[in-house]
Chain A
Amino acid sequence: DAGVTQSPTHLIKTRGQHVTLRCSPISGHKSVSWYQQVLGQGPQFIFQYYEKEERGRGNFPDRFSARQFPNYSSELNVNALLLGDSALYLCASSLLAGPSYEQYFGPGTRLTVT
């Protein structure tokens, strides 16, 4: 069975540009969450989507947006990139939404902003 997949694996962008990161959840999972991880810190919550609706948003600026498609895959968009957006972006899927459901993580997309 395929796990959570993310694309691309690595990405280099210039300040001010826009980026789209993609995530495919485990088959049958209806919830997708996005996290940002910078070196030395744990992953920080960005968004959770369930059944195509935003269920929660972390403390990130409006430059960050996301959506979930009818097939439950998801995109994370970041506009007007800043150097500080350089990080590993992780996607996680779970069967349903809620704090007690196990979240399964993908390998992440490494974003470098120059």
Chain B
Amino acid sequence: ILNVEQSPQSLHVQEGDSTNFTCSFPSSNFYALHWYRWETAKSPEALFVMTLNGDEKKKGRISATLNTKEGYSYLYIKGSQPEDSATYLCAPGSDYKLSFGAGTTVTVRA
């Protein structure tokens, strides 16, 4: 089981502000890095699958970068909106499984 750390555990953001948070994972035996958004009472929603060092992905106001050599990924939210309130999970994929971090819970205040 991979040791995956996400920080901070939670954060509060004012509507309109931008924010970012980190996922750290072992850089050895890396295959892919998954990001999910999980809103309360809903299913986890896939945001990105990233495989290449230096990879950058974007989906609307959310973007992510990946550094496989040092074992970290950043997720950015630009111009936060109340609907961005959710727990964001990262999960390195290896062999047959995803190893999830505990997540960063984002609360956007109007």
Contacts and interface: CB of A to CB of B under 8 A. Distances in A.
Nearest to B1: A59
A98 B96 CA distance: 5
Interface residues of B, number: 27
A89 to B, nearest CB: 13
Interface in A47-103: 48, 55-56, 58-59, 90, 97-103
Interface of B: 1, 4, 31-32, 34, 36, 42-46, 49, 51, 89, 91-103
Given A3-B43, A4-B43, A42-B4, A102 B34 contact: yes
A3 B44 CA distance: 12
Contacts of B42: 107
Contact of B97 (A33, A40, A104, A107): A33
Interface residues of A, number: 28
Given A42-B4, A42-B89, A45-B98, A100 B32 contact: yes
A42 B49 contact: no
